[in-house]
Amino acid sequence: MTAHAPVVLDIAGLALDDADRRRVRHPLVGGLILFARNWQDRRQLGELTRELKSLRPDLLICIDHEGGRVQRLRSDGFTHLPPMRRFGALWSDDAGAAPGSGVLRACDAATAAGYVLGAELRACGVDFSFTPVLDLDHGASAVIGDRAFARDPRTVALLAKSLMHGLLQAGMANCGKHFPGHGFVRADSHVAVPVDRRSLRAILADDAAPYGWLRSCLASVMPAHVIYPKVDSLPAGFSARWLRAILRGRLGFDGAIFSDDLSMEGARRIGGRELAYADAALLALQAGCDLVLLCNQSSGGGAPIDALLEGLERARADRCWQPDAASEARRRQLLPAQPAPDWDALQRSPAYRRALALIG
């Protein structure tokens, strides 16, 4: 087993070049995240994922594919999944004959969406999607918006658990995001450094509540690039207090922790200064992340990716960071345990067809 492969990187195009192949074979690389630019059709994607697995059978092939406006694959047979807010609206609709019928319809539809999402991706060789969003819809955050199921944490937890059950039926793990909650702040961490000034007690009682309730079925968590100054001066994804003391210690989570994209503004400006990618990755790993993502840096030769890998190698040699066998085990637990379904067989499957009908 690889000692610890914490880096999740990306590629620039529809196929691998020699530099991509070299990076995928690097012992510190454990995952690759796909974007819409890496997609032409199912045949091309299948060829790409097969080559990736031929180079590294243990590579975790990931994508940010939630439904709604965050859906990377939208053609050649892929189902256009609704935003998660649609299921929250179903939950609130008790116009049916029996009280609570809206809740039942919402849970069934969310499970069906999770199954369709996971099964279609797996049929093209994708192992894992960063979903579901556990953020609450406070109405303030444009970047979260309709990606959130609802405002109420109980509704969010039960709908997320339903969607995660559908992913499990498809043989795919899950990722709750963005811990402890991104929905309360207006700023977008892609381009700014959001600050949430609420107390720890207020956050744990509201936005972070789903993480504790779902700890037995969450496979992984992605923390927010948000600063909560009444808890820590560092963003959650770089804070040992948030990740080790609160998420693992207080809430009892024992799955994998991913950093959010280290190229986002909320990850670059820490402590009043702009960090190099390698320094940001090191800080995230020291705080308790098992895996670190660096996205959209592969074009033009991918020098930022190489610099991050070289920086982590130096940190390991200097004993500023050491590979962690437990982190590697958590990474490998995200890999599918069963072979991927065949696309044509999936389309004929009664379970798949029933799921499509339930999504509506």
pLDDT tens readout for residues 73-83: 999 999 999 99
DSSP conformation class of 327: H
- DSSP string across 111-165: HHHHHHHHHHHHHTT--EE---B-----S--TTTGGGS--SSHHHHHHHHHHHHH
342 in catalytic set: no
Residue tagged active-site, from 190, 279, 306, 324: 190
| Confidence label for 308 from pLDDT (cuts 50, 70 and 90) | very high
260 in catalytic set: yes
pLDDT at position 99: 59
pLDDT at position 116: 98
Residue tagged active-site, from 135, 232, 260, 261: 260
> What CATH code is assigned to 7-359?
3.20.20.300
- DSSP string across 187-249: S-TTTS--B----HHHHHHTTTHHHHHTTTT--EEEE-S-B-TTT-SSBGGG-HIIIIIIIII
pLDDT tens readout for residues 168-221: 999 999 999 999 999 998 866 666 788 999 999 999 999 999 999 999 999 999
- Is the pLDDT at 129 greater than 70, yes or no? yes
Of the chain, the percentage scoring pLDDT greater than 90 comes to 85
CA distance 8 to 27: 12
pLDDT at position 1: 46
pLDDT tens readout for residues 251-275: 999 999 999 999 886 556 676 778 8
pLDDT tens readout for residues 105-123: 999 999 999 999 999 999 9
pTM (2 d.p.): 0.95
pLDDT tens readout for residues 85-101: 999 999 988 655 565 67
